[in-house]
Structure formats: structure tokens, C-alpha cells
Amino acid sequence: MGETRVLMYHAVGTRTAAHDPHNLFVPPDTLRRQLSALLDRGWTPLTLDAYLRNDTPRRSVLLTFDDGYQAFLDEGLPVLRELGVPATVFVLTGLLGGRSEWMPEMPDEALVDVDGVRELAAAGLDVECHGWDHSHLSGADPGTLARNVTDAARTLAELTGRKPRAYAYPYGDHDLAARRAVAEAGFELAFSVHEGAGRFAVPRVDITSIDTDTTFRMKTWRAYPALRRLSGRAPALRSTLHSMIGRAPRP
């Protein structure tokens, strides 16, 4: 697991910067180009099962997609099918068929409904748990933890017919109580974003709509997570470096 790159995407589709201020929507042509580049360079995309078994070649990657956007089902799944690439999708079981209401800047993006969850699972994707309603779990009260971990897992199991094995913390936000709740709920591992803490907070590298081919390749470097943590302590430096390397244009 330690040598595998875990990439974190969100939605797939084309949105203007005004409609997607968080840069969550990666255009399908960009996703196709990124994944084709990985395959051409000899990377092996993993299923969640292979990742959990630690059946991981030296150049291996686990693709994850958070939130369960309808746009991912409509525009991302066809790209994965075309290239034969597996992925893990983390859905919000309390918001199925709803909207991205936790983001006031972009509250109207559609999320997959129950049929969408079943379609993703039928397509061979691993559909896993992202909580109930995208609540912050760091410092959460027991009721919020129960709803977003135990209740969310139970509901997802009822929909897919199998117990979820992996959890992705909303916002990458976790503390000891959240990690303990996830472990006690029977999950085998959990993913954060930049801040790791063992098996129940595995870091991921975020891929966004402003990544160029160069920054995408940089994000697969072994040293990138350490560089990202270092630059995170100096946000102005990170912004300057990104500007020097370049940003993908937004409509």
C-alpha cells in the first residue's frame, strides 16, 4: 500500500470557474488523457480489493472519486469503461438523489440516486462510504459520528448488498475519535487528503481541473506528498510554484 499512489478526484465534466470555484470538475478529455498517460507509462490501476490485499506492483495507482456526482456517472464512467480502468467511488448515503448542498458556492450539482449507486456497482466500480451528509468529523459529537459512519455504512450495505470496506473523510477531516468510529464500524481502512495517520487516515493526492499535464505528472512522483506537506506550511509558496508551472485554462 505504501508504494501505491492514491489519487483523489471529485466530479468529471466541464464547468466554468464561476460554477466550479473549487476546481472539482475535471473535463472528460482531460481525464482520458491523464489515465492514458499513466497506462502508457506502465502504471497499473488497482481495484480496491487488490489494494487491500497489498497486491500492488511498483507502479500502481488507486483512483478514487468523492461525493458521487451524477456528472461522474454520465461523463466519467464512460472514460473508465473505454480505457478498462477500475476506480473506487465514495458516495454520501444521506444525500442520494440530492444536491451538493454542503457547498454554498455551488449547491446545485446533482448527486447519484439509488439507481445510480447500483449502476456504478454493476459496472464493476467499488462503491464505498463518504459519510451521510458531508459533515466535518473532526470534533464531531457522537450523534454526528454515528450518523456519518455507522448509519451511512448500514444504508450503503442495504443498497449494494455488501458491507462497505473503505471510508473517505469529508474534507479529509479526521481526528482520533473519527478514526476510532470508522475502525469500530468495521471498515478496513479510511482515506484522508493530505494529513495521514496510519491505516485509518491514508493520504491521497488531489487532482483538480487546473492541473496541467506537467502538474499531473508531478503528482505521481514519489516525493510529491512530502513536497505538498512542506508547501502547505507556506501557502504563498505553493501558489507561486503553481503559477510558475502553469494552470490549465478554465472556461
Q: What is the pLDDT of residue 107?
A: 97
Q: What b/e sequence results for 74-95 when a residue is b if at least 16 CB atoms lie within 10 Å of its CB, and e otherwise?
A: bbbbebbeeeebbbbbbbbbbb
Domain ranges of the chain: 5-245
Cα separation, 73 vs 45, in Å, equals 19
Q: What is the pLDDT of residue 249?
A: 67
| Strand locations in 40-113 (E) | 44-45, 60-67, 88-91
The candidate with the shortest Cα–Cα distance to 51, out of 92, 8, 91, 88, is 88
Q: Which CATH class is domain 5-245?
A: alpha beta
Q: What is the pLDDT of residue 14?
A: 96
Q: What is the pLDDT of residue 230?
A: 62
Q: pTM higher than 0.85 for the full model? A: yes
At 224, give phi and psi (nearest 5°). -60, -45
Cα separation, 161 vs 138, in Å, equals 29
Q: What is the pLDDT of residue 67?
A: 98
Report the chain (251 residues): mean pLDDT per 10 consecutive residues.
85 96 97 98 96 90 98 98 98 98 97 97 97 97 97 96 97 97 98 90 95 92 72 55 62 71
